[in-house]
Amino acid sequence: MTGLNNVWLDKLDLNQRTVALQRVGMTFLYKFLFKRGDHLFIIGNTGSGKTQKAYWLVNWLRHTRETVIWLDSAKNREMIPLLTMGTPVRIICPKGSLVKLSEWSNEKHKYIPLENMPEIVEVPDAGTAWWHVKRGYINIFCFRNAFEKAHERERWMKELFETLTTWTRKQRMPKIYPFCLVGDEAHWFNAGQKITSDTSRNLLSELITEHALEIRAYGGRLVLIAQGYKNLPPATRENLPNNLLCRGAKVAPDENNALSIYNQYTSRYKPSDGLFVYSNGESYPRKAPWTFPFFPMPKIKIQYLGEYDNPTEKAKIQLEIEQELTPDLSKYNGMLQDLQGYEVPHDISRYEVIADD
């Protein structure tokens, strides 16, 4: 009757199964979740539960074939619920930076190393990060706090998205499609003019918007989160066809008339409330918010140490060791120059005796 596979339903938790078998859940599954490459914009003021709703979405996505990538904004223990969902986690960070995780021990009354430590992978450049994304894992890109200089971070993010689209177009990408990239506080890498008038940041935003259009055709999904509708550039907003409106989400009629009709309701929402507006501008149930669950926040401490452009002493020592172990090929340059212009003799009969022996 529902058209849903029983084997897939068995993978869901009790709350998800209950939702999936109701009309509201089936609408969400068929109008959004099962449509690959369908982007989403989550909007709401501070404390409106935006990030919690993104966790809720990841909890659904991990039961699909989409590869999950979370672009960490480094705010207030953001990644912690992702570590406790029961899916393996891989943290990917630029070389020279480090993410340290520890959990509180009631027995020892202090923080101790996390028992179920996620995989932590350091990458030398932004493009390489895609090659370390692992299917079946929740992959966390820890890039925001990994740079001392803002222009270095912008250069990294530019390379990240350029590599994604170029390699996708040339069919050289690792097998991560279909995927979903979730970006919390998305204005830090894709800012509208309400946030900044800096030319380089605006150019980066335009670049990301352009790439978002390309990856959608291949099954790449963006889920971007911001406090205000104008926090992202107009071109980006126009290409995020689905919207999840949280408390305080306000949209002017001249910006998006279909969303503006919900302004009178969102001001009354609780942090657990949210209205899912699909790409056709309609919600279900009509004008009635959903109640979203809150994910636990265990006492885990996250520390971001070192920067890519200002590495820790440990990272510097590691780099020196790697350089020491890398052979210096310059001493062979002279030999190579001597061989330039050398022609292999055509008469090889004089070697036949040696070959016979």
pLDDT > 90? residue 174: yes
What's the pLDDT tens digit per position in 280-326? 999 988 888 999 999 999 999 999 998 887 866 665 565 556 556 65
Q: By mean pLDDT, which of 106-120, 281-295, 330-344 is the weakest? A: 330-344
The backbone torsions φ and ψ at residue 181, rounded to the nearest 5 degrees and listed phi first, read -105, 115
The pLDDT of residue 347 is 44
Assign 147 to helix, strand or coil: coil
75-78: Cβ within 8 A, 24+ apart: 75/184, 75/185, 77/297, 77/300, 77/301, 77/302, 78/51, 78/184
Sorted by where each starts, the structural domains of the chain and their CATH numbers stand as 35-353 (3.40.50.300)
The pLDDT of residue 312 is 60
The pLDDT of residue 200 is 61
Cα–Cα distance for residue pair 193/213, rounded to 1 Å:
20
Tell me the two tokens of residue 301.
């401490």
The pLDDT of residue 252 is 92
Rounded to an integer, the average pLDDT of 269-276 is: 96
What's the pLDDT tens digit per position in 62-101? 999 999 999 999 887 899 999 999 999 999 999 999 899 9
The pLDDT of residue 197 is 56
Cα–Cα distance for residue pair 54/34, rounded to 1 Å:
17
